[in-house]
Amino acid sequence: MSKSLNQLTIRQAQAKLEDGEITSVELTRACLGRIKKTNPKINALITVCEAGALEEAEKADERRKNGETGQLLGIPYIAKDIILTKGIRTTVASKILDNYIAPYDATIIKKLKKAGAVLLGKANMDEFAHGASGENSAYGATLNPVDNTRVPGGSSSGSAAAVADDMCIFSLGTDTGGSIRCPASFCGVVGLKPTYGRSSRFGLISMTSSTDVPGPIAKTVEDASIVLSVIAGPGENDFTALDKPVGDYSKMINKSIERIKIGIPRKLIKDTDKNILKVFDKLLDKLREQGVEIIDIELPHAKYGIPVYYIITPSEISSNLARFDGIRYGFSDKEAKNLLEVYTKSRGKGFGDEAKRRIMIGTYALSAGYYDAYYLQAQKVRTKIKDELDSELKKVDAIMTPTQPDIAFKIGQQVDDPLKMYLEDIFLSPASLAGLPAISIPMGEVKEMPVGVQIIGKRLDEKILFRIGSNI
Ligand code: GLN
């Protein structure tokens, strides 16, 4: 049976657009049709931009008629609702920004517009990107399209669910400590966290400025490579965005991986669900057959990734979220009687529980009496984790782990256990703290749920991730 248009990959859709077999308007309508049908249940989108999307699709068709080509010309996508989109509601899944209209486009959105991609809507997420399940949203939880009783993972929950459900051809997420890789693994799609600074943060609502990175969620490794080639590179107003050449990453697809060395931190991953480890080991055998050398490595400090991440992240959050004061942006409580009450009531009613928890932890960790014991100490261990990864990556081309220690859990199963939720990022936080590129790719199934493998590369070496990933 032939695929419906919304099920196509970027590569397939592009070929059909190029041949004149389909138009971007038809492709966009197919995605919007799917959204209408399944989004009321899955809840992957907070805002659907039907009219705007059709207008952009018409423009893309026009550009193509005038002889323009391009990998993303006329391709419909969805952006996480933490990414500013000019004239479009951008809520960060929080009541405090309900009905907030972004005054400008994020750099990555500008780049996609220039390339002719079509914005279908804004994806649901954990509020302010705090979470690993998609349940911390002021607009309700997103469901995993593979099994609606399970979480899609987070915090880019809607972005991953929308791709897995074929509501779009690709999507954008952000990854601060795992938020692209975790939902990609739980939903069975490909999610790439580029090197810190590879893609501009300008126009993201800041969570943890020292680890936030936007990146693609896609149906194939090749599609992720195509999107990265478009969104990578600097723009205005982000001095951490690296001005380094952006390659044609899709050239790496299906390139031989003979003699590539991959390191496995066995001790770190030993408590992973047994069935996931079985799938992982089978994958290693398959890679060995292709001539890959699999080497055991030690990352003794990686296990401190979680405690370190959960000191640094709330610390930066407590500072970044200070700007939501009921005056400058979004929700302001009308019952407030004086300035102090404007702050306390607007923040008290506007923020959800997890945001409040992190503001409190961060404020505590940064306070004069505790700064040295928590924040400073965490930064020191962070440097250790980074040095250790960098030094192991001198011996091997890439490091591999399962993306998650378990399959997607049931909705509601661990909402009341923040510590358990934080542990979901156990294999993900080290690469985030070190600023290294990492990708999650489906490697098989356990109990009929998808499971992903994570590949971590050297700084700015996204190429190796695509090269290995396309051979999985
Ligand atoms: N689960 C992590 C957290 O809750 C990841 C968040 C992210 O990458 N945005 O902080």
Structural domains in the chain plus CATH codes: 5-252 (3.90.1300.10), 306-373 (no CATH)
Average pLDDT in the chain = 97
pLDDT digits (tens, 9 = 90+) for 170-215: 999 999 999 999 999 999 999 999 999 999 999 999 999 999 999 9
Residue 5: what residue type? L
Distance CA 461, CA 344 (A): 45
Ligand 1 close to Cβ of residue 155 (< 6 A)? yes
Distance CA 17, CA 22 (A): 5
C-alpha of residue 141 to centroid of ligand 1, in Å: 16
Ligand 1 close to Cβ of residue 159 (< 6 A)? no
Q: Compute the average pLDDT of residues 220-224.
A: 98
Q: How far is CA 361 from CA 314, 319, 355, 367, 436, in A?
A: 6, 11, 10, 10, 26
List the structure tokens of 340.
């102090």
Distance CA 128, CA 82 (A): 7
Which residue in the list 24, 179, 229, 429 is annotated as catalytic? 179
Pocket test for ligand 1, best of 80, 94, 179, 318 (most atoms within 8 A of CB): 179
The Cα angle at residue 379 between residues 375 and 384, in degrees rounded to 5: 150
Residue 468 has what pLDDT?
98
- The dihedral built from the CA positions of residue 303, 305, 306 and 308, taken in this order, carries a sign that is positive
446 in Cβ contact with 407 (< 8 Å) = yes
Q: How far is CA 41 from CA 49, 92, 140, in A?
A: 18, 20, 11
Q: Please report which confidence band the pLDDT of residue 99 belongs to, taking 50, 70 and 90 as the band edges.
A: confident
Pocket test for ligand 1, best of 83, 94, 135, 155 (most atoms within 8 A of CB): 155
**Contacts (Cβ under 8 Å, ≥6 apart) of 458:** 390, 393, 397, 436, 437, 464
List the structure tokens of 274.
């047994």
Q: Please report which confidence band the pLDDT of residue 2 belongs to, taking 50, 70 and 90 as the band edges.
A: confident
pLDDT digits (tens, 9 = 90+) for 421-440: 999 999 999 999 999 999 99
C-alpha of residue 468 to centroid of ligand 1, in Å: 26
List the structure tokens of 221.
């490794």
Residue 179 is a catalytic residue = yes
pLDDT digits (tens, 9 = 90+) for 439-453: 999 999 999 999 999
Least Cα distance to 219 among 187, 251, 247, 179 occurs for: 187
Alpha-helical runs (H) found in 351-407: 353-366, 377-395
Q: Please report which confidence band the pLDDT of residue 235 belongs to, taking 50, 70 and 90 as the band edges.
A: confident
| Dihedral in degrees, nearest 10, Cα atoms 266, 268, 273, 278 | -20
pLDDT over 90 (residue 83)? yes
Q: How many CB atoms lie within 10 A of CB 331?
A: 20
Which residue in the list 24, 80, 229, 386 is annotated as catalytic? 80
226 in Cβ contact with 9 (< 8 Å) = no
H/E stretch holding 319 reads helix 305-320
Ligand 1 close to Cβ of residue 179 (< 6 A)? yes
Range with lowest mean pLDDT among 36-45, 100-109, 327-336? 327-336
Distance CA 295, CA 297 (A): 6
Q: Compute the average pLDDT of residues 97-106.
A: 96
377 in Cβ contact with 301 (< 8 Å) = no
Among protein residues, the one whose CA lies closest to atom 4 of ligand 1: 131
C-alpha of residue 176 to centroid of ligand 1, in Å: 6
Counting from 1 in the atom list of ligand 1, the atom nearest the Cα of 207 is: 9
460 in Cβ contact with 438 (< 8 Å) = no
Residue 360: what residue type? M
415 in Cβ contact with 251 (< 8 Å) = no
- Coil, strand or helix at 172: strand
Q: Name the DSSP class of 395.
A: H
Backbone angles phi, psi at 193, to 5 degrees: -100, 110
Instruction: Go through the chain and tell me how many residues it has.
Output: 472
Phi and psi based region of residue 43 (left: phi greater than 0; alpha: psi -120 to 50; beta: remaining): left
Ligand 1 close to Cβ of residue 305 (< 6 A)? no
Q: Compute the average pLDDT of residues 101-122.
A: 98
Q: Please report which confidence band the pLDDT of residue 268 belongs to, taking 50, 70 and 90 as the band edges.
A: very high
Residue 140: what residue type? G
Q: Compute the average pLDDT of residues 72-92.
A: 98
Q: Compute the average pLDDT of residues 116-134.
A: 98
> Residue 55, class by beta-carbon neighbours within 10 Å (0-12 exposed, 13-18 middle, 19+ buried)?
middle
- Coil, strand or helix at 354: helix
112 in Cβ contact with 215 (< 8 Å) = no
C-alpha of residue 423 to centroid of ligand 1, in Å: 11
Q: Name the DSSP class of 405.
A: S
pLDDT digits (tens, 9 = 90+) for 275-316: 999 999 999 999 999 999 999 999 999 999 999 999 999 999
Ligand 1 close to Cβ of residue 134 (< 6 A)? no
Q: Please report which confidence band the pLDDT of residue 40 belongs to, taking 50, 70 and 90 as the band edges.
A: very high
Residues linked to residue 400 through DSSP beta bridges, in sequence order: 455
Q: Please report which confidence band the pLDDT of residue 1 belongs to, taking 50, 70 and 90 as the band edges.
A: low
Distance CA 83, CA 81 (A): 5
